């Protein structure tokens, strides 16, 4: 059983605390949290046992989990690596390139394991934390050869006990893939919400009709800016590539409608149906 310090007690950090405790992996969870409301809510909800300042929390822990927005994580991981002795440090963020380049500069790089649990919801803050997280989902480890074997084994074992299946990826490739598989979905949802909200100014009744299809495509638009602006900042180039491709694909639908080329529209839809191969 470990003492675990979680830096940033939001959706992911809070869920990590709850799940590690539930699986009997954490004897004690120490929280580091800059937002005073989140800190007291995390204590009230029993997510953490105590809140401590960063350096004290790090020195008392076997494992340090960095779960702050990704631009802050780059800085915090570097700072934590400079203040540890033999502890293990992981991050759980959605971008990895910049973070890993920064971590590579630390003499303690071997104690760090870059991880991305492919789980999340559109909610944020300690109230959003849940024990129903991670199980059955993918866990990506980036640049594993740069981590010490004992640190890697400890982290891999921990995620396996959380019920995740492990994948390995180079940090740069990770950022390309997540642009396609996660970041663009958020942008399309945000943009779809703004499209419909634009219309709503004219017409209130519209939302009485919102059905399950609309809810599922727009759900992610509830996701918070504190998390997502940093992701888009760090993964700008990849996200722009995918966004340009997505606009190109939308223009094909537009052209098929404008030209009333129904055979082409059918082709576009039947091509999209091939996603069945991938999604259950």
The CA radius of gyration of the chain, in Å to the nearest whole number, is: 21
> Which residue blocks in 1-69 are alpha helix, DSSP H?
11-22, 36-44, 54-59
Q: Per rule CB under 8 A, is residue 195 in the interface with its own copies?
A: yes
d(CA 186, CA 245): 15
Shortest distance, position 102 Cβ to its own copies, whole Å: 19
**For its own copies, which is the closer residue by CB, 69 or 126?**
69
Stretch that binds its own copies, among 4-12, 23-31, 44-52, 220-228 (CB under 8 A): 220-228
Q: What mask of x and - would describe binding to its own copies in positions 45 to 84, judged by CB under 8 A?
A: ----------------------------------------
255 binds its own copies per the rule CB under 8 A: no
Element spanning 139, H or E? strand 138-142
Phi–psi pair at 187, nearest 5 degrees: -65, -45
Q: Name the β-bridge partners of 166.
A: 139
Cβ distance to its own copies smaller for residue 85 or 211: 211
User: Cβ 89 to its own copies, closest distance in Å?
Assistant: 23
Selected from 121, 128, 130, 146, the binder of its own copies by CB under 8 A is 121
**3-class DSSP assignment, residue 141:** strand
Residues 157 to 186 in contact with its own copies, rule: CB under 8 A: 167, 169, 173, 176-178, 180-182, 184-186
Q: Which one of residues 75, 101, 160, 251 is an interface residue with its own copies (CB under 8 A)?
A: 251
Q: Is 135 in the site for its own copies (CB under 8 A)?
A: no
| Binding range to its own copies, per CB under 8 A, among 17-25, 40-48, 82-90, 257-265 | 257-265
83 or 130: whose CB is closer to its own copies? 130
Q: What's the CA gap between 157 and 163, in Å, rounded? A: 10
- Closest by CA to 16, choosing from 186, 69, 147, 30, is 30
* Interatomic CA distance for residues 117 and 115, integer angstroms: 6
Binding of its own copies by 272 (CB under 8 A):
yes
Helical (H) or strand (E) element with 245: helix 236-258
């Amino acid at each position: 059983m470990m003492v675990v310090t979680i830096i940033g007690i939001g959706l992911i950090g809070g869920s990590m605390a709850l799940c590690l405790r539930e699986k009997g992996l954490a004897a004690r969870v120490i929280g580091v949290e800059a937002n005073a409301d989140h800190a007291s809510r995390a204590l009230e909800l029993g997510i953490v046992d105590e809140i401590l300042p960063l350096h004290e929390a790090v020195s008392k822990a076997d494992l340090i989990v960095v779960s702050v927005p990704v631009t802050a994580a780059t800085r915090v991981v570097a700072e934590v690596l400079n203040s540890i002795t033999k502890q293990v440090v992981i991050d759980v963020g959605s971008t990895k390139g910049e973070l890993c380049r920064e971590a590579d500069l630390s003499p303690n790089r071997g104690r760090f394991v870059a991880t991305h649990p492919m789980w999340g919801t559109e909610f944020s803050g300690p109230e959003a934390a849940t024990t129903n997280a991670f199980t059955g989902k993918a866990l990506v480890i980036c640049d594993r050869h740069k981590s010490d074997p004992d640190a890697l084994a400890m982290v891999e074992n921990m995620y396996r006990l959380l019920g995740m299946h492990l994948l390995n990826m180079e940090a740069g490739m990770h950022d390309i893939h997540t642009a396609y598989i996660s970041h663009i979905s958020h942008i399309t949802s945000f943009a779809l919400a703004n499209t419909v909200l634009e219309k709503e100014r004219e017409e209130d009744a519209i939302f009485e009709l919102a059905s399950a299809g609309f809810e599922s495509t727009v759900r992610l638009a509830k996701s918070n800016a504190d998390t997502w602006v940093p992701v888009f900042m760090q993964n700008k180039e990849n996200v722009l590539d995918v966004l340009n491709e997505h606009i190109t694909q939308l223009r094909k639908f537009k052209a098929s409608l404008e030209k009333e080329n129904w055979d082409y529209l059918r082709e576009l839809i039947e091509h999209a149906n091939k996603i069945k191969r991938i999604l259950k």
